Amino acid sequence: MMKFEVFPLNEGYYTIGFDKVFHAFDIEKDILEERSRGSLLVEIQPFLVRTANDNILFDTGLGFFNDNRQLVIEENLAKHNISPNDITKVVMSHLHKDHAGGLSYVDEYDERHETFPNATYYIGEDEYNYALEQGEPSYELGDLELLVRSARVEWLAAKGELLDFISYEQDGGHCPHHTSFLLSGDDGHYFFGGDNVPQLKQLKVRYMAKYDFDGRRSAELREEYGQKGRQGNWTFMFYHDVSIPLSKLA
Ligand SMILES: [Zn+2]
């Protein structure tokens, strides 16, 4: 059996308006109503999974810099005594820019670099092709072009296994080729459902969201994963929930 530990990497709160641009939001000081019309509050949180051999990242965050011109993800990884160079695997649920923005960054000379130069990337091939076709504003092509040049991409099929302890399935819903992951180890099961299961509260109420590509499918998936999670005592990993990063369903 595999032994691993899961750590949330909290990037904080942002608002996103109709223009799909993310702006940092200080929940102590800022006022949502003062943001552009239709702005939504969004929390961002990739996960670090550590095994004896690997530091694995599940989605990569926004790729923003902090006030010291350090990448937020670098600041967060430093709290676990590792750097972006120590990330050996990057696993992607999908490639919307709030999940894939951290794949690369642009330096002060306007040159783009991979954030995790030693990592192998695990990305759905269908999602990649769809992202290239769609482009802005939901996808950031600069991040994606760099991946292909890196030649360290392992393309994910519709369904399969990775690294002996992770099973995955392309489940659609939030976007046509979204993928969810189940990690199985000594301490039970962890489920990373990306944007089909973004927050704990959304597992408790049935709803359909306008921001999902197929809202009905997404709602059905939440129901299904909720049921399986209850039966299998899964710990859910919530990418858009910084106050409850990890939770089982009672
Ligand atoms: Zn998202």
At 227 the three-state DSSP class reads helix
**pLDDT of 1 higher than 80:** no
Distance in Å, CA 62 to ligand 1 centroid: 10
Angle between helices 125-134 and 141-150 (to 10 degrees): 140
Count how many residues are written for the chain.
250
Backbone φ, ψ for residue 199 (5° rounding)? -145, 150
The pLDDT value recorded for residue 211 is 84
Higher pLDDT, 99 or 40: 99
85 pLDDT more than 90: yes
pLDDT tens for residues 197-209? 999 998 988 888 8
Give me the domains of the chain, ranges plus CATH numbers.
Answer: 5-248 (3.60.15.10)
* Mean pLDDT of the region 86-96: 98
pLDDT of residue 205: 85
Encode pLDDT of 19-59 as tens digits: 888 999 998 999 988 888 888 899 999 999 999 999 999 99
4 CA from centroid of ligand 1 (Å)? 25
CA–centroid distance, 1 to ligand 1, in Å, is: 31
- Would you place residue 178 in the very low, low, confident or very high pLDDT band (cuts 50, 70, 90)? very high
| Contact of 172 with 214, CB cutoff 8 Å | yes
Residue 84 has pLDDT above 80, yes or no: yes
